[in-house]
Amino acid sequence: GNSVTQMEGPVTLSEEAFLTINCTYTATGYPSLFWYVQYPGEGLQLLLKATKADDKGSNKGFEATYRKETTSFHLEKGSVQVSDSAVYFCALRSGANSKLTFGKGITLSVRP
Amino acid sequence: GAGVSQSPRYKVAKRGQDVALRCDPISGHVSLFWYQQALGQGPEFLTYFQNEAQLDKSGLPSDRFFAERPEGSVSTLKIQRTQQEDSAVYLCASSLRRDYYNEQFFGPGTRLTVL
């Protein structure tokens, strides 16, 4: 079946530090890949997505590249801000089924 | 416009009680999903509707869980004879079409605590 594995957290960084959050997946067929973010007190929001191999999703300074050869979709940002503090979820959707399969999520805290 | 809304936001139930959780999707959205998020975990799929038809209920953990969407808009997730392991945040999401690439918009969730 489909699964998503995220690196263990939490992660604490200083403002302007470089961020990488690892995500690998197992899926049948050719999945679409997503990063969702949950800010404190808010619902899940789509951060970025990629629908085929070598696609790069980007939004708000975050980027992730769909790597089929390594089955990975790592999230990166060059310079994090305090406002980026949130929980980040990697997810996939595969085949005819529209349901999302999520990783466990990782909490990012950015200190001033 | 208004996003996905869920009510109640918090629900405390005694073990054995029945609960009903409501989801109001974005107006006009055809697809509706329910997910269960245990503490410290990612959301897990429960069930999926396209309009009023429940097309996938493979994620419902037991026959105590029941979902409906009788008029193709508002949906209710019902849990009968609640157990402590049912404690979780229940998320609802909707999307405009059944299209594979359509974004799912999530509500704020209902946090259920079973004592």
As averages over each run of 10 residues, the pLDDT of chain A (112 residues) reads 91 97 92 94 92 94 96 97 97 82 96 95
- CB-nearest partner of A98 from B4, B40, B98: B98
**How high is the pLDDT of residue B100?**
58
**How high is the pLDDT of residue A96?**
63
**How high is the pLDDT of residue A24?**
97
Strands A86-93 and A101-102: antiparallel
**What span, in angstroms and rounded, lies between the C-alpha atoms of B102 and B43?**
18
3-state SS class at A52: coil
**What span, in angstroms and rounded, lies between the C-alpha atoms of B114 and B65?**
15
Shortest distance between the Cα of A87 and any Cα of chain B, in A, equals 10
Q: Which residues of A20-56 are buried (b: 16+ CB within 10 A; e: fewer)?
A: ebebbbebeeebbbbbbbbeeeebbbbbbbbeeeeee
**How high is the pLDDT of residue B61?**
95
What is the total residue count of chain B? 115
Cα distance between the two ends of chain B: 37
Give yes or no for B101 touching A (CB within 8 A): yes
Q: What average pLDDT does this structure show over B48-72?
A: 95
Residue B19 or residue B104, greater confidence: B19
3-state SS class at A19: strand
Q: What average pLDDT does this structure show over B45-56?
A: 94
Closest CA to A95 of A29, A11, A19: A29
Show which of residues 44-103 on chain A sit within 8 Å of chain B, judged by CB atoms: 44-46, 49, 51, 89, 91, 93, 96-103
Asked whether the predicted pLDDT for residue B47 surpasses 70, the reply is yes
Asked whether the predicted pLDDT for residue B44 surpasses 70, the reply is yes
Query: What totals of helices (H) and strands (E) does chain A contain, helices first?
Result: 0, 12
Q: What are the pLDDT digits (tens) for B69-101?
A: 999 999 999 999 999 999 999 999 999 876 656
Sign, CA torsion B87/A37/A39/B77: negative
Helix, strand, coil percent values for chain A (each to nearest 5) = 5, 50, 45
Residues of chain A with Cβ-Cβ distance to B59 below 8 Å are 99
3-state SS class at A91: strand
Q: What is the CA radius of gyration of chain B?
A: 13
Query: What totals of helices (H) and strands (E) does chain B contain, helices first?
Result: 0, 11
- Residues paired with residue A77 on neighbouring β-strands, in sequence order: A19, A62
Kindly report the backbone phi and psi dihedral angles of residue A76, in degrees, each rounded to the nearest multiple of 5, phi listed first.
Answer: -135, 150
Do the Cβ atoms of B42 and A32 come within 8 Å?
no
Q: What are the pLDDT digits (tens) for B7-31?
A: 999 999 999 999 999 999 999 999 9
Judge residue A111's burial from the number of C-beta atoms within 10 Å of its C-beta, 0-12 exposed, 13-18 middle, 19 or more buried: exposed
Task: Report CA-CA distances (Å) from B100 to A40, A96, A111, B47, B83.
Answer: 29, 7, 38, 16, 35
